[in-house]
Structure 1
């Protein structure tokens, strides 16, 4: 008789296949397949190390290696004293095209929301002035917003816009929705070209609290430089994206 572990397909054949592949990697692949196919759903507790060890007929050390790979991939997370659980699906961020957060979330099937944390006209620092093609000290509109997907905080963004766009601070949509849609509706223009720079960072303190993650959590720091079609800079944005909720997708092609 075959005993089935919760959320797993039965039979020792689960870790069959190419014997050159380490056992822990084959167990990882099986668990990952169960998660990505929906057999194990977000919030489900995966079987314990002891249960998986018995199920696959391997040592707990081997199982621990497999689970650690899943943790590193952001597919599962541990809760002290309770077990290991399937994480929420990651949001694929495709590095092609210029799109607003709300448009991106709607395309991915999430319900977007925005919380305005600060709106102020401030003197441009040197790096902000350089990004917007202004003189240092020139007035710029600074907007700090928390972005949510399905009511969960996933990003913090600080936008800098030329001072001539200061009226956007009064637009209700900026406080709750898409900045780009507000720009287009109110000013008749929105960015059409841009570039982004990504850096791996660790967040703590107020940033971690606002993102709803523990201190020393990994994140992606993003700088966006956006312009109108004629090359006029209209936006410089610094973002912090939760690394446990985002996956970067890069399209590559042979340019020879």
Structure 2
């Protein structure tokens, strides 16, 4: 949704509350706030946004479905009413910063279904030894020198909310190539606002740095944690930024 603060409850005009909520949602569909084909936020988010109950939101969505302006499938409700095109924020390529500047570098990425490193499990709120989707990335120079490596563990929330990620479980054999470059796009299209926090430190006396990236959503739920090691010498720094959800 475009606003970051809750919507004021609509004034009474003789219509039932769910009808007024349906009208407000229809306005946002018409003006392109929710682009055609995009997934609407979940019932819990909409209830907080409009200051009403989830049952009221459910009834409002039923009205819109009967009028043919939204459709619902197992992944949620999607806008079908044509609206104004909206600018799509520039996408972040996953893993951020993993690709080397060397045009001759060779990339390889795979996924496994395994227990993540203990520090990853703790950051993601996973029980010890509980398996999850783990992505491994390596960039090497033509002479075989390692330029960059990255290990990413995804949370149970990410796998439950993002169908494209969940489908990789069946291919997580550690051998099949798995470039998840659109992972952040998939998260945004699932209605998640992505908050990134990167801590960058030098690795010992070596000319390399470690980037520990943590990503959570608008509900402070962890989505993924990445450890990226880059063959470069830099001062330590920490920076944060947020990518808005698509819907």
TM-score by length of 1: 0.40
Compute the TM-score of the two structures, normalised by the length of structure 2: 0.41
Higher RCO structure (Cα 8 Å, ≥6 apart): 2
Q: Which has the larger radius of gyration?
A: 1
